[in-house]
Amino acid sequence: MPVVKDRTTNSTQDRILEAAVQLFSRQGYSGSSTHEIARLAGVSEVTVFRHFARKRDLFWAAAESRLRRIRISRELRNRLESDEHPRTALPGIIELLVEIVYEHPETVRLLYLSLFELEQGAERILRKHLVPLFQPLSEYLSRCTAKGLIRELDPGITALGFAALVASHQGLQFVLTGDATQTANVDDAIATYTSFWMTAILPEFDLSERASDALALTSPAAD
């Protein structure tokens, strides 16, 4: 006889996890209490602990509930595995990362928290969910380097650099300029980051000439 799942139990747990995601991502791990999470979920704190023995367990369950949504599409994976030229593959890579940051902001904040507030246990959870995302990118970049299609850069660091630039740009923009306005839309963001990385990694772009041109534009005119 098939096992019938308790839908009420699942629904209650889902509400607790969603409340935890919202509070942890806004207030941080230390700044969020199980009492607040229970109140937002519409349950008692006893019920929260019936599902999750510790606050830390609840955080990791909440983080995993969002990390599971981050996937590299089969279409993009096939393009990378077939060693599509970086000029056409790079926009697809950047599109994936931009959509993660723009469409899953709570997930990105939970990632920050797991690294800076909950170091213990972070490696296992993040490896489980992020390696399947970044390993195909790193392996693709490694093959491109070997073929001379991109500059000789560390493929792992470059793959992380793609994500780090997209994820950190908005926060740094606010800190340095006080402007919290996001790029107009996802398409504009993809175009901007793609242009930056094509200039950075494709050998046909002469970085020294671009640096000289930029210096000439910013230097005072000669008398």
Summarize pLDDT for 120-163 with one digit per residue, the tens: 777 888 888 889 999 999 999 999 999 999 999 999 999 999 98
Residue 24 pLDDT grade (very low, low, confident, very high; cuts 50, 70, 90): very high
State residue 14's pLDDT score: 95
Question: How many CA atoms within 13 Å lie on the side-chain side of 192?
Answer: 12
Q: Where in the chain is the domain with CATH 1.10.357.10?
A: 74-205
**Residue 26: pLDDT above 80?**
yes
User: Right CATH number for 74-205 from 3.20.20.140, 1.10.3720.10, 3.40.50.460, 1.10.357.10?
Assistant: 1.10.357.10
Region of 118 on the Ramachandran plot (φ > 0 left; ψ -120 to 50 alpha; else beta): beta
Q: How far apart are CA 13 and CA 132, in angstroms?
A: 27
Could you tell me which residues come within 8 angstroms of residue 65 by beta carbon, excluding any fewer than 6 positions away?
Answer: 17, 21
**Residue 9: pLDDT above 80?**
no
Q: Where in the chain is the domain with CATH 1.10.10.60?
A: 7-63
| Percent with pLDDT over 70 in the chain | 80
**Residue 192: pLDDT above 60?**
yes
**Residue 18: pLDDT above 50?**
yes
Longest dimension (CA), the chain: 91
Distances in whole angstroms, Cα of residue 123 to Cα of each of 95, 97, 119, 160, 162: 26, 21, 8, 16, 20
Q: Considering only 4-13, 118-127, 186-195, which range has the smallest mean pLDDT?
A: 4-13
Give CATH for domain 7-63. 1.10.10.60
